Chain A
């Protein structure tokens, strides 16, 4: 049970920064792709 708890904890330690980083990359990627098109319009 201890091992399961620690494994879950470690999974959160990996998932939280990965999810945040990926979300930010997606968000900023969208902003960057949209900006030139909107400027042209």
Chain B
């Protein structure tokens, strides 16, 4: 039995230069999973913007593997959180399907754009490209945090921006009481977030929640539940792509999942008890925290590059 266990751990031990190994490594991964699970259940984000830096910075898992394994983890953690939100009536199926259609196409497009940018902007140097993209992503996160932190602007004439958008045809999102929403606008938003997903390798929930709040016009609870549905479909597409490229480590993803299964239930429980405005502010703080983490990582990379 011991032989079998040793063989299993030997085979599945991820390439990780951190001081941890064996059971301690799996405990650390499960611990990260619990924290990220709470954030997922609470805010409807997959947690990729937290898992990738944590795996990469704390445990030293190679960047591509951190992205792929994080996406695989997001599939499980969003599948665990979704039924709770669905039972509470927080998931609008029509919005999920329309946004996911755009997002899946966008993720593939983003990956193509990434290859073109690496070749033509960074001159084939992946390290330079990563630094440029990380800087852009930090700006995006800071803008997102700023927008979400502000109170929701008064809708002119009681209409959300996507209801005022002139391009038709229009769809009625009856479950969330939003009639006459621009269909190309909705799919276009999915496409835009999908491109960012493909470019930065995150699930996209961190951007979907503010977009659903501020542009589509959902309230905070419905934005969280609906975003979780889109994130599940978008991350499944990404896992297929990364899986074929051999950039997913299943044991890392499953260890994170074991921890997050508990965390996500706690997050959903907290979400249903928090006032919408407080939830919105807390989300802004988590996004800000992720931006700070990436700034620290970027500075560390600059320090290594120039020392």
Q: Which A residues have a C-beta under 8 Å from some C-beta of B?
A: 6, 9-10, 12-14, 16-18, 20-22, 24-26, 28-29, 32
Contact = CB atoms under 8 A, between A and B. Distances in A.
B116 to A, nearest CB: 25
Interface in B58-79: 72-73, 75-79
A16 B78 contact: no
Q: Is the interface of A mostly helix, strand, loop or mixed?
A: helix
A21 B78 CA distance: 7
Given A21-B75, A24-B261, A24-B264, 15 more contacts: A10-B239, A10-B244, A13-B250, A13-B253, A14-B239, A16-B254, A17-B253, A17-B254, A20-B258, A20-B261, A21-B81, A21-B261, A25-B84, A28-B80, A32-B265
B243 interface: yes
Interface in B193-239: 236, 239
Summarize B's interface: helix, strand, loop or mixed.
helix
A28 to B, nearest CB: 4
Size class of the B contact interface (CB-based, 8 Å): 20 to 34
A21 B239 CA distance: 15
A28 B83 CA distance: 10
B29 to A, nearest CB: 14
Interface string B288-307: 00000000000000000000
A22 B80 contact: yes
> Which of A10, A13, A28 is packed against the most chain B CB atoms within 10 Å?
A13
A38 to B, nearest CB: 17
Given A6-B244, A20-B254, A13 B72 contact: yes
